[in-house]
Amino acid sequence: MADGAVMLLQAAADSTRAYGEFPVIGARAFVWITAEVHLMFAAFVLGVPMFAVVTEAIGIFGGDERYDRLSKEFTRLLLVAYSATAIWGATLVFGLSTLYPRFWAYLTAIFAPSMWVYAGLFFVESFTLYLYYYGWDRWKKGRAKLGHWTLGILLNVWGTVVMFIANSWLTYMMSPPRDITPTTDPTTIKLWHAIANATWMPINVHRVVANVVFGGAIVGAYASYRFLAARTDEERAHYDWMGYVGNFIAMSALIVLPFAGYWLGREIYQYDQSMGITMMGGFMSWLWVIQAFLIAVLFLTGNYYLWIGMGRIPGAERFRPYTKWLLIILVLGAIVWGTPHTMIADSKELAAMGGSHHPLLGALGVMSAKNTAVNLMILTTFLSFLLYRRANTRPVVPWAGTGTMIQGAMFAIAAGIVLFYGIRGYFVEAIVRIGFSVYQVLAVLACIVCVTVIDILMARGAQSLGAIRWGKMPARSQYALFILAVTFTWLMGLMGFARSGIRQYWHVWQVMQDTSKYAATPALGYASKMISLCVLIFLCLVAFVFWLGGLAEKSTFVAPGAGDEGGGRGDRHVGH
């Protein structure tokens, strides 16, 4: 019976046109562009609501109306972004169904029920957004405001579920359950069995964290655009504060993002070692050199913005001498992280080196060195946040000195554990070395959590050293926020190519082969051009969304610190 079904399905597939062609740029380029831009907008409409609901909650429970106004201003941008997401998504579906009809028929045979749920939730999500935005001023007090905030939470729930559903389709292509073979009738595959594949949950977690980073980066870019276009000091103060909040959220989530990436990479290795080798040690290995420098740019730029921001904070001058040491650690970490293991060289250079590995730098190209570098960079970035947070305050609790010493000891212990296991990794087998990265991650996370708790307790009743002078920032600080948004968008495209490219000539890994003329994974140069084109298209459209946001409604801003006595609680950082 099953054999007969398979034969009928195969006969139907044979009678179906396998591939179509798109004029000028080709089928693969068309699907690549539409899929990438759609996913970037999807990250926008998922990341910004997370930002909005958090800032609205701070406004509700902290009694600061600035955060409520900030949340509303960004929700307004979502109205246009949702339309763009839907348009690009529909274009992608049309492209897949007409250019890759046999592959699309295979996916729909398995995931059709989830696709209907996806479409239904998109409608529910859209109506929730309209209620959330247009009911803002009507439901702004008392229990009605809590109900309005609940709508924001629901908006994030619907969006997250929609993302989880879509993630199941793409992760199935990369890691289908092991008992599924090319002869398996797709109509007999159980839906949940296909959804809960090996890389589904790691991708979910990675994308949730990445969307928070992306949302904060877009918020910062919008704020920098409005800051540079501002005509009054009050408006500059508002958008300076908004840019700080966006950068704070983006950098806070970025600290966690590498850990989620390590989990995903580990699951890929466990599912199929050949895919992991292709990704990390094969022709794609140089992608990770590019990725390392892009992430280094994010860390360096985020810290640079914080260090410039200390110029508007009374009392921050006492911490400025430390920034040069933080910069040295970040630069050294970036150099180690970006050092390739295998050098690209000609025959004479290879002979001079004695092989493809440099006798000195080759030791920095292995994961022991890179894991150590990135964990130390994360600790350094967290320390920058800590110094910024304390810049205009002086703790008055009687145990402040002891608390500071404990925090310093925690940093030293965490850094010591990271260095110990990084060095120890050179003297053990690869399988043991992989386990060491878990200890390094746990040490860093434990330090971040414990130091933050102590700092919150120390900040109670802290003496203020003066009001933050919002708006007193040079233009170069706003360019840093632009760099964060552009770099992270490019990084998203790069990592999307790495994830998809490891399937090589398979639509579904070792189940459904790609027999089109585009079957081979493209060269890195071609891929870089395509990614850059997608980023350019997306950023141009986002710039249009920003322009519409300013055109639709004049910003109703409240200058940060308005109504506060000098140095009052209203002048404290969002982290307080």
Per-range mean pLDDT, top range of 27-31, 179-183, 306-310, 458-462: 27-31
Quick one: pLDDT at residue 551? 65
Quick one: pLDDT at residue 432? 73
Mean pLDDT of the region 519-531 = 86
The letter for the amino acid at 344 is I
Quick one: pLDDT at residue 362? 65
Mean pLDDT of the region 78-82 = 83
Strand partners for 394: 463
Mean pLDDT of the region 523-532 = 88
Quick one: pLDDT at residue 569? 36
CA angle 192, 195, 201 (to 5 degrees): 125
Residue 204 pLDDT class (50, 70, 90 cuts): very high
Quick one: pLDDT at residue 553? 54
Residue 481 has pLDDT above 70, yes or no: yes
Instruction: Quick: pLDDT tens for 253-282.
Output: 887 887 788 788 888 888 887 877 777 666
The tokens describing 10, both together, are 């195969």
Quick one: pLDDT at residue 169? 92
DSSP H/E element including 277: helix 273-280
Averaged pLDDT score across all residues of the chain: 82
**Other C-beta atoms lying within 10 Å of the C-beta of residue 290:** 16
The tokens describing 488, both together, are 């992270």
Instruction: Quick: pLDDT tens for 111-128.
Output: 999 999 998 998 898 899
Residue 70 has pLDDT above 90, yes or no: no
Residue 567 pLDDT class (50, 70, 90 cuts): very low
**Other C-beta atoms lying within 10 Å of the C-beta of residue 342:** 14
Q: Which residues contact 456 (CB under 8 A, 6 or more apart)?
A: none
Residue 554 burial (CB < 10 Å; 0-12/13-18/19+)?
exposed
Q: How far is CA 332 from the centre of its chain?
A: 23
Mean pLDDT of the region 166-177 = 91
Quick one: pLDDT at residue 575? 43
CA angle 46, 52, 55 (to 5 degrees): 145
Quick one: pLDDT at residue 71? 84
Residue 341 pLDDT class (50, 70, 90 cuts): low
Residue 445 has pLDDT above 70, yes or no: yes
Pairing of strands 463-464, 506-508: unpaired
Q: Quick check: helix, strand or coil at residue 384?
A: helix
Residue 557 has pLDDT above 60, yes or no: no
Q: How far apart are CA 97 and CA 191, in angstroms?
A: 21
Q: Determine if the pTM surpasses 0.85.
A: no
333 and 377 Cβ atoms separated by less than 8 Å? yes
Quick one: pLDDT at residue 267? 85
Quick one: pLDDT at residue 322? 86
